[in-house]
Amino acid sequence: MPKILTPSNQTRIYLFCSFIVFGLSAFPASAQTAEQKGLDIAKAAQAYDEGFGDFTADMVMTLKTRKGDTSTRNIRIRTLEVQGDGDKSLSIFDEPNDVKGTAMLTYSHGLEPDDQWLYLPALKKVKRINSRNKSGPFMGSTFAFEDLSSQEVEKYTYKLIGEESCGDWQCFVTERVPAYKHSGYTRQVAWIDKEGYRMMKVEYYDRKKALLKTLTTDSFQQYLGHYWRPSTMDMINHQNGKSTRLEWKNYQFQTGLSDRDFRSQALKRLK
């Protein structure tokens, strides 16, 4: 007759169950999975940045080839925070001169495809564009569209893989796997500081799982006594040697922008 449960087995099971119950109630953090911790950090980072309302800024983008040749783009950015959805954002191009007056409007939506319109001043035409091309380069730079888009929590699945110092701060190191379609990446590793949830560094791994690019941010400024924004962002492509530097200037928060300023047909009147 087979022994289904010996007293010792029963004891072990009891002990095991009580450990789980005890463990969960007494030490919630330690029993959390790395995935849960990663998600919590992403949620905390999003919560930290909520309430900024809107901002405007000037962006100077310097593209550098492997040989060291450079070219510059000047873009004005206007962003409106949208509660419960991705932000609305306007990019107005001032340089190079042949694209002066071109404007791009994006309504970003977490996992759903973004709505995107382009105003072409030569034709005086507002054109709805297909936003499915997330992995394509932005203006010939090493930044892809997906690198510059609004970072909603649901866009990735997360995993906390470590904690280490990053410059003067302590950082969470989290792995993010894009949950949206058509990403050019299999995963990203992000260094996020524990205090102000500043994204200090991101490594991007391509579809073959090889390291493709590294983003490093620098010279963070705090606005409205709370929100951190970097003054420079450098994106290096390790595979082709190209790099792009973004310099952010003239950040202004809560400037009074509203939905009215982010209508597709209002693109025509931007100067």
Return residues touching other proteins (CB under 8 A): 63, 65, 71-72, 95-101, 113, 115, 123-128, 130-133, 135-137, 139-140, 182, 184, 260, 263-266, 269, 271
CA angle 228, 52, 185 (to 5 degrees): 65
* 164: helix, strand or coil: strand
Compute the least distance from the CB of residue 271 to other proteins, in Å: 5
Compute the least distance from the CB of residue 230 to other proteins, in Å: 24
Residue 100, token pair as written in the block? 């002066």
Residue 267, token pair as written in the block? 């693109």
With respect to other proteins, which residue has the nearer C-beta, 149 or 174? 149
In the block, residue with structure tokens 């090493």:
142
DSSP 8-state secondary structure symbol assigned to residue 137:
B
Compute the least distance from the CB of residue 145 to other proteins, in Å: 10
Compute the least distance from the CB of residue 137 to other proteins, in Å: 5
* 63: helix, strand or coil: strand
With respect to other proteins, which residue has the nearer C-beta, 177 or 266? 266
With respect to other proteins, which residue has the nearer C-beta, 44 or 118? 118
Compute the least distance from the CB of residue 246 to other proteins, in Å: 15
Residue 25, token pair as written in the block? 């109630």
Burial class (CB in 10 A: 0-12, 13-18, 19+), 120: middle
Compute the least distance from the CB of residue 8 to other proteins, in Å: 60
Provide the H-helix boundaries in the chain: 7-26, 28-31, 34-49, 145-148
With respect to other proteins, which residue has the nearer C-beta, 134 or 176? 134
Pairing mode, strands 103-107 and 115-120: antiparallel
